[in-house]
């Protein structure tokens, strides 16, 4: 490894501000995290069911599953960071991992990923949406 790169990398990591609990002000409240995780779980169940039925679009469902998994990890990290029952060091480590997942711009803007990869599901009124027969509707958000 180039020693100049190692020195610049070390300096850049020293100049990065650390996360703080003040960062949580730009994110949704803790109770919202549970709702988004429930919606994500329902979406992942639906994606799993669609993967077994729609083999022609297996790559699309695989991408949707990967995006749903990334969203789940981000929402879980936010939930653990905003849960006051955990100790401070654990919460701060979850904020650091959340910043790594989202990137600096989205983290400081409070932009969480959509819990459900909506692009993967065709609209009900779309005339070119594939019809799979008697598919049951799964609620994405809990009541």
| Pair 78, 35: CB distance under 8 Å | no
Q: Where are the domains of the chain?
A: 33-120
For the chain, percent helix, then strand, then coil, each to nearest 5? 65, 0, 35
Give pLDDT tens digits for 32-58. 999 999 999 999 999 998 888 888 888
Give pLDDT tens digits for 54-73. 888 888 899 999 999 999 99
Query: Exposure string (b/e) for 65-95, b if CB count within 10 Å is 16 or more?
Result: bebbeebbebbbbbbbbbeeeeeeeebbebb
User: Positive or negative CA dihedral for 96, 98, 103, 108?
Assistant: negative
Predicted local confidence at residue 93, as pLDDT: 93
pLDDT above 90: residue 125:
no
Q: With a threshold of 0.75, does the pTM exceed it?
A: no
């Amino acid at each position: 490894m180039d020693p100049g790169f190692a020195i610049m990398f070390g300096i850049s990591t020293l100049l990065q501000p650390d996360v703080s609990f003040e960062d949580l002000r730009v994110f949704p409240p803790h109770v919202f995290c549970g709702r988004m995780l429930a919606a994500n779980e329902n979406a992942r169940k639906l994606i799993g069911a669609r993967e077994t039925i729609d083999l022609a679009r297996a790559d699309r469902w695989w991408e949707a599953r990967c995006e749903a998994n990334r969203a789940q990890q981000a929402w879980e990290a936010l939930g653990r960071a905003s849960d006051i029952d955990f100790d401070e060091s654990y919460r701060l480590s979850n904020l650091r991992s959340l910043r790594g997942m989202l990137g600096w711009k989205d983290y400081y803007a409070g932009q969480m990923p959509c819990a459900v990869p909506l692009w993967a599901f065709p609209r009900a009124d779309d005339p070119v949406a594939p019809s799979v027969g008697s598919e049951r509707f799964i609620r994405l958000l809990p009541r």
